[in-house]
Copies of this chain bind each other. A is one copy, B any other.
Amino acid sequence: MIDIALMGHGVVGSGVAEIIINHAERINNSCKNNINIKYILDLRKFDNLPYSDKFITDFSAILEDNDIRIVVEVMGGVNPAYEFVRSCLLAGKSVVTSNKELVAAKGAELIKIARDKNVNFLFEASVGGGIPVLRPLVQCLAANEIKEINGILNGTTNYILNKMIVDNMDFETALKLAQENGYAEKNPAADIEGHDACRKVCILAALAFGKHVYPEQVSTEGITNISLDDIDYADKFNYVIKLIGSAKKLPDGKISASVRPTLVRRDNILSNVDGVFNAIMVNGDQTGDVLFYGKGAGKEATASAVVADIIDCAKHLDSRKYLYWDDGNDDYVDNNSTLKSKLYICVKSNDVSDVKSQIKKLFGDDIFIITNEFKNELAFLTNTDFEDSLYTKANQLKSITDIKILHTL
């Protein structure tokens, strides 16, 4: 029998407890051992559960119990999760977590402690919920050099954008609907401003390229600035707008890392990822594009990824798994590099026809421009060119009152 402790009994934590208890036979078969939840750490009271006797409020009971070999952190947030996880690893316990905020902020340090103590620190559920992506990324693509990752990493924003695209619903209404359906929090900032996707980019980039990327190094922009007109212009160019988290290896060994609303061409399979689904496209030098798709959130999906990590820990109690990356550094992420891009540009002006001729002069006669006389707006896609050159040209546009620039994929 392997005793484990759960820290946190919220949505994911209760899901983990339910799977372990309700599917004990299947899980114990997979582990070739019996998994026993000995403690559940939560400050709240849960009196009417079949396992109410397991609840404790004192973390030290877990830390000091040598029978506990695996600790499952599903509290969320950096504090006190960080201290708890760190102490457990230092005490020689393996840790499984679904906490993307923790891994994005402190991953390199915690992985290093796990390595030094010869225990496991696993976090499959932190990216893509129930979609197996971190393990295949590391293990199955071992023979590949990863060049680029692009993903739809946040179900809430994908749901909202999808409602805007398919039902022509404006942002505020779509957000409200997402909240009513339980797809968005009361305070939706972490999702709609891109912070949640940013943490996942950090974790994916770290695993793919071997160095920690900190959230503040990722150029992050949410979807609050996207209008129904943008959606409509994009459609006319045969694109849809998605919130894309991206990490790319640069020729000089640095990487670029961003989260931003991006026009995705309709023949790219990412454009067909609808509703609350997530998808991560990995480009390797040998495999080409590989995509992992599924529900990126939700109690059962996320909990099942946590349980899969618990099973993996249970099967490898005395050996270490393969996840590793080095600490990051200040100049490792370079988002101002001169990559080539095709940009979407939308400008407002009181003199639409003048701006139109400026655009043709700057960006080329062959540019197809959508004119919205009613809103005094012009939208166009540039040809593919160096980003800095395209931005320089955009800055030269005169007599405009507003400009919005989005990337394409």
A290 to B: closest C-beta gap in Å: 4
Binding-face segment, A181-189, A231-239, A296-304, A360-368: A296-304
Interface string of A144-163 (1 = CB under 8 A from B): 11000000000000000000
Contact: A307 with B143, CB < 8 Å?
A: yes
* A311 contacts partner chain B, Cβ-Cβ < 8 Å: yes
Tell yes or no: A289 within 8 A of B by CB. yes
A-B pairs with the 6 shortest C-beta distances? A132-B140, A286-B304, A143-B307, A130-B287, A290-B294, A132-B136
Query: Given contacts A139-B312, A142-B311, A145-B26, is CB(A130)–CB(B288) below 8 Å?
Result: yes
Residues of B within 8 A of A267 (CB): 274
In the assembled complex, the CB of A196 is this many whole angstroms from the nearest CB of chain B, namely: 19
A143: which of B141, B284, B289, B304 is its contact (CB, 8 Å)?
Answer: B304
The docked-state distance in angstroms from the alpha carbon of A132 to that of B137 is 8
User: A131, A141, A304: which has the most chain B beta carbons within 10 Å?
Assistant: A304
Q: Is the interface of A mostly helix, strand, loop or mixed?
A: mixed
Interface size class of A (residues with CB under 8 A): 35 or more
Using an 8 Å CB-CB cutoff, how does the interface string of A280-321 with B read, 1 for contact, 0 for none?
A: 000011111111111100101101110110011001000100
Q: Cβ of A407 < 8 Å from any Cβ of B?
A: no
Residue ID in chain B nearest A294 by CB atoms = B290
Known contacts A135-B139, A140-B124; A304 and B291 CB within 8 A of each other: no
Known: A27-B143, A132-B139, A141-B132. A287 touches B304 (CB 8 A): yes
Contact with B along A118-144 (1 / 0, CB 8 A): 000000100000111001100111111
Chain B residue nearest to A31 in the complex (CB):
B142
Is A23 interfacial (CB 8 A cutoff)? Answer: yes
Task: Report whether A291 and B292 are in contact in the complex, using a CB–CB cutoff of 8 Å.
Answer: yes
Tell me, yes or no, whether A273 is within 8 Å of chain B by CB: yes
Contact between B142 and A30 (Cβ–Cβ < 8 Å)?
yes
| A140 CB, min distance to chain B CBs, angstroms | 3
The reply to whether B288 and A291 form a contact with Cβ atoms under 8 Å apart is no
The answer to the question of A357 belonging to the interface, with a C-beta cut-off of 8 Å to chain B, is: no
Q: Which residues of B contact A130 (CB under 8 A)?
A: 284, 286-288, 290
A143 CA to B273 CA in the complex, in Å?
25
Q: Nearest Cβ distance between residue A96 and chain B, in whole angstroms?
A: 12
**Interface check A272, CB cutoff 8 A:** yes
- Nearest Cβ on chain B to A300's Cβ, whole angstroms: 4
Q: Which residue of B lies closest to A16 (CB)?
A: B143
The CA-CA distance from A288 to B130 in the complex, in Å, is 8
Residues of B within 8 A of A311 (CB): 142-143
Docked Cα-Cα span, A23 to B27, in Å, equals: 38
A292: chain B residues at CB < 8 Å are: 290-293
Is A269 close to B, CB under 8 A? yes
A405 within 8 A of B: no
User: Which residues of chain B are near A307, meaning CB under 8 Å?
Assistant: 142-143
Closest to A267 in B: B274
A19 within 8 A of B: yes
- Measured CB to CB, the closest approach of chain B to A257, in angstroms, equals 22
Assembly CA distance A26 to B146 (angstroms) = 12
Please state if B143 and A308 are interface contacts (CB–CB under 8 Å): yes
Q: Which of B293, B298, B303, B319 contacts A291 (CB 8 A)?
A: B293
Among the interface residues A140, A291, A298, A300, which one has the most CB atoms of the partner chain B within 10 A? A140
With both chains docked as a complex, state the minimum distance between the C-beta of A338 and any C-beta of chain B, in angstroms: 27
Q: Which residue of B lies closest to A299 (CB)?
A: B286
The interface residues of chain B lying within 8 Å CB-to-CB of A142 are: 27, 30, 307-308, 311-312
Give the residue name and chain of the B residue nearest to A128 (CB). B290
Neighbour of A294 across the interface among B23, B287, B319, CB < 8 A: B287
Distance from A258 Cβ to chain B, minimum over Cβ atoms (Å)? 23
Given the interface pairs A140-B124, A294-B289, A304-B143, the reply to whether A273 lies near B269 with Cβ below 8 Å is yes
